[in-house]
Chains A and B, each alone.
Chain A
Amino acid sequence: MVKNKTILICDDDEGILDMLEIVLEGSGYDTIPIKNSLSLYEAIEREHPDLLLLDLWMPVLTGDQVLKTLRKNLETKELPVIVISASRDGEQIAMNAGANDFMAKPFDLDLLLKKVQQYIIN
């Protein structure tokens, strides 16, 4: 049996984590929800995800800070990251920090699934 692709979801809102788990698992992905961005690096090292869905506004360590660190690290430099955020200027912040793509909250599911698939295959 082929192992499912793994998607790490990092968001401080449990509703979003819940919803994305339901949606992505419904489409055949394994998901690992991370509520506290501080534990994200450890989770990446442990799980070797195929994709990261990353929120921006999080307490202590923000999404763009996380992303900048990931891009400096050899092992995570190439990890596909889609930033999901409800901030109006989120797209600019995300792309500047090195995101592969950006989706404004609330997003369309089909569009999200399309993008997820696109980055995982590549």
Chain B
Amino acid sequence: MNSLINGEFNPSQNTLNEDFALLTKALDAAISGIILTDNRLPDNPIIYCNKAFELISGYNRDEIIGHNCRFLQKEDRDQKEREALRNAIKNGTDCVVDIRNYRKDGTLFYNELFMSPVKDENGNVNYFIGVQNDVTGRKKAELSLQHQKDVMEQRIEDRTKGLKESEDYLASIVQTVRESLIVLDPNFRVLSANDHFLKTFKVTKSDTEGKLLYDLGNGQWNIPALKELLENILPSNNPVEEFEVEHDFPYIGKKLMLLNAHRIELEGQYKNRILIAIEDITERREIERRKDDFLSIASHELKTPLTTIKGLVQMMQKIVPPEVGDKFKSVLNKTGMYIDRLNNLITELLDVSRIQTGNIELHKENFDFDKIVHETVEAIQVATNSHKLIIEGSTNEQILADESHIIQVINNLLSNAIKYSPDNKIITVYLSKVSDFIKFSLKDEGMGIKQEDHKKIFERFYRVGEIQQRFPGMGIGLYICDQIVKNHGGTLWVESEPGKGSTFNFTLPCTKTL
């Protein structure tokens, strides 16, 4: 290596052959493919390639020399990197590209191509040197990374779109719902109000959002009792249910509003917000009132002629001559019974309406429960020849209750027992005290009730299917009894099996003071 001085070649005539062989060996030992093209010849053909280039491309030297480099791209000519190469060749400048090349066997490899012009002393580009590295591994990793990134971005985009859609979807529900909704922050400032709220109260968003709830309108929600309940929502999580606000609202006048308020059960940015739903029940309440009025009037008007009929029939019973015989008297008695039944039906209709609208009024007073039971049972016994009514036990309790309602319950249960046990004669009432409740049990030996009907018989207008023809009725007696007992803080239930009779029980608390 005589010509290599201080790391630089200094070839001389003597050392030229030796140096050339050495450099060729060095080129063949390189792991990068190296080619030389002659820019002065047409189509810039390859005039030299090293071993590594043969290895990378899979072609033999004799298949390479004389070809333009593009043979490595096979049919894949539409690559933007080619444009960069063309420009570099045209301008005689350096250039680095990652270009898709194909081996002789057709397999793809990514070629990191470094191209550099070799100029003569006049600046003409005579040759190009191309250095190639197979970067398929790196390129694939890059591409796969890029792909992952694209997939990720797409996913994020989809997710964001989905979220936006679901938000729009929920917002459209909130906007469409026929109930006024507002959301408050923990300091009772309105964060948002839906369209129905704005329409109902004839206000704008700017009248509402950002304002304190208590400052809205003419202070319609500034009610101490409501304030206290609302302030309790966040610390205790006790919702406000069905709070009625009757108020002369600005723009819409006197209205009755029903208000529900809940804490929004979310963590994060929506934590500690309060959702208020407001329903205008002015009309509904008015319709209920009119229905009640109508039923009161109807029942009053029906009872008036019934009073006359009852009086006249009783008068007939008084003045009937002794010689007319029992048949006539029995007909009169039956007429009287059916008048009473009609009267009960009218009363029940009115009761049902009142119970439904929650207008059942209790006039509670202290009375001797056992005495009332005895009196009621005796009164029914007088009118009943078919059954024997027996009372066993006692409560020895004074109870605080609405006497007429309790009598109504006992009467109803007794007449049911008589009605539904036509073939059995004995009906027994058991009275007892259980803890701080009195218990009334009424046992008949009638047809019994199937398990599946035990709850349903207390529902409004429910009739056990097969009995309707034998025992007509409206299906409201037990419903009324159940509601009355419930209103007194007791329970009413039945124990029964088909064919084994029924026992109806009710309990009432022994509270004595108001």
Contact = CB atoms under 8 A, between A and B. Distances in A.
Contacts of A19: 307-308, 311-312, 315
B329 to A, nearest CB: 16
Given A13-B304, A57-B300, A86-B303, A106 B311 contact: yes
Nearest to B350: A88
A46 B160 CA distance: 93
Contact of A86 (B304, B311, B363): B304
A59 interface: no
Interface in B315-343: 315, 318-319, 339, 343
Interface extent on B, as a size class? 20 to 34
A106 B312 CA distance: 11
Interface string A45-59: 000000000000100
B315 A23 contact: yes
Nearest to A27: B318
B296 interface: yes
Nearest to A55: B304
B308 A18 contact: yes
A57 B307 CA distance: 15
B319 A26 contact: yes
B321 to A, nearest CB: 14
Contacts of A15: 304-305, 307-308
A26 B304 CA distance: 21
Given A86-B299, A88-B296, A109 B318 contact: yes
Interface in A55-69: 57
B136 interface: no
Interface in A1-54: 13, 15-16, 18-20, 22-23, 26
Interface string B281-307: 000000000000000100110011111
Contacts of B412: none
Contacts of B347: 88
A84 B300 CA distance: 12
Interface string A108-120: 1110000000000
B488 interface: no
Interface string A86-108: 11110010000000000001111
Contact of B304 (A16, A18, A88, A92): A16
Contact of B318 (A13, A26, A57, A107): A26
A57 B296 CA distance: 12
A87 B308 contact: no
Nearest to A13: B304
Nearest to B313: A109
Contact of A109 (B296, B306, B315, B363): B315
Contact of A13 (B296, B308, B312): B308
B314 interface: yes
Interface in B466-508: none
B460 interface: no
Nearest to B310: A106
A108 B314 contact: yes
Contacts of A26: 315, 318-319
Interface of B: 296, 299-300, 303-312, 314-315, 318-319, 339, 343, 347, 350, 361, 363
Given A16-B308, A106-B309, 10 more contacts: A13-B304, A13-B308, A15-B307, A16-B311, A19-B307, A19-B312, A23-B315, A86-B300, A106-B310, A109-B310
